[in-house]
Structure 1
Amino acid sequence: MNISTQVAEQAVHWLMEMQQGALNPRQQAAWQHWLNAHSEHQRAWDHIQRVNSRLRGMPSPLAHAALNAPTTTSRRQALKLLLILGAGSAAAWSLRQQHILPPLTADYRSPVGQRRKVQLADGSQLQLNTGSAVDVHFDGRQRLIRLLEGEIMLSGIAGTAPLHVLTGQGLLSSQAARLNVRQFRDHTQLAVLDGHVDVMPNTYS
């Protein structure tokens, strides 16, 4: 599904407006005008409705961040991630979170006793420590790394979209930071070596 970042932002805006209470007549007219303005708007709206309905059944950190983020900005960001990723991708990642899909199927992995260096599509450098696995979702609109197990060192390159790292305990966001992230069974360890990282923890953990 091809949904631009701008349209995703607009769809998330209207969803959050409606979740805060019934729209007044002026807002209702504005939403209807936006919805009818372009077929992409209709696709985005239909899609985010499906994503939103699936959230409560998904145990993934991204779903919980979208539902329970402590700030409106954080929740908006998580919802936009889910909308651009797509409900199917998000559901697949939630299966990974439950270990139904093993890290053996990860996009990049390093066996025990070995390390691996990977240059990502945007030029960022990713180093996997021994026994580590990640999924990577880069598509020009989104830069998202899911740490399935182990430890990574990430040297991010500034881009048009924030660089996100999803762990079992929450979502890390930066533009061009250098950071080390280690996934334990019940917590995540983060070391920021250079730059700034925003942390959106799961509120249920």
Structure 2
Amino acid sequence: MQAAQQMSETECDFAVLEQAAEWFAVLSADDVSDQERVQWQLWLAENPQHVQAWQRVELISRHFQRIPCEQRHGATQALQKKGQTRRQTLKLMTVLCSTGVLAWTTSSQLSWRQWYASYRTRVGEIKDFQLADGSHLWLNTDTAMDVSNEPDRLHLALYKGEAMLSRGKDAHYPLTLDTTFGALLAKEAQFSVFDRGGFGELAVFNGSVQVAPVASASVTVKAGQQVRFSTDEVSTARVSEQRRQAWIKGMILADDMRLSDFVDELSRYRSGYLACDPDVANLRLVGAYPLKDTERVLTALEQSLPIRINRPLPWWTSISARSA
């Protein structure tokens, strides 16, 4: 394997991650040779960035253990149909299915509130609920939320993920939705809120919502507006994006969307690693793409764009430029 190109201090280079994934596939095989182990150790010692990439691949592998073993077996069979070698597929069953107990240990990374939340969705799952007060709640992929009816208000708490709430004119009392970064207050409104890890994102489609950060003054966001908010500030409002509503219908809307941004969005609905080479990151997409079958979406992209989909492992998918 070739030496890695220069990487930033905070991110593994795409090419180096590809090398690490290839080495993971080699070392996971039953018939891995001593010479291959030595070559891997030499590659690992070449550059600290190789160690960083290897650790990233190992982490992604552990996250993939959340998938039930029968689903992992299905992924492996799919690879066999695509012409993968016997060596590539047999080793995967050893790595993935022999460690089923690990599927549950990774869940300890969630806080107890996320784990025991009354409303939850798994990766790739979208659900909708009718609440006791008549409100309609949708949960996007990998989301955890609690809902409680108090005497004078509807109280919700978003622990992770994305939710949309719709309340009509018959709502008799206001709602409070707590997030990591502050509270949202509303009565008659339709809005979505997304915990992006480092900040929250609010889009209002009908009515208005008051954003009250933990350590800052509250701001009212009106219909047609979208903001980001942290514990101490709320961004300037901009026009809300139509695509922020599309997921409740099981779609991703792309309107001149960069391929890298599309891949980031699609990856939320899949387990494992999905990324694209910077060389193709700026390709543009237009259209509506169903979330129910992400593999089908990737196949459609490969047929319509000058790209190649690479699947060295069931849980590792990368997108690169198609060879001339």
TM-score, with length taken from structure 1: 0.49
Greater share of residues in strand: 2
TM-score, with length taken from structure 2: 0.32
Q: Which has the larger radius of gyration?
A: 2
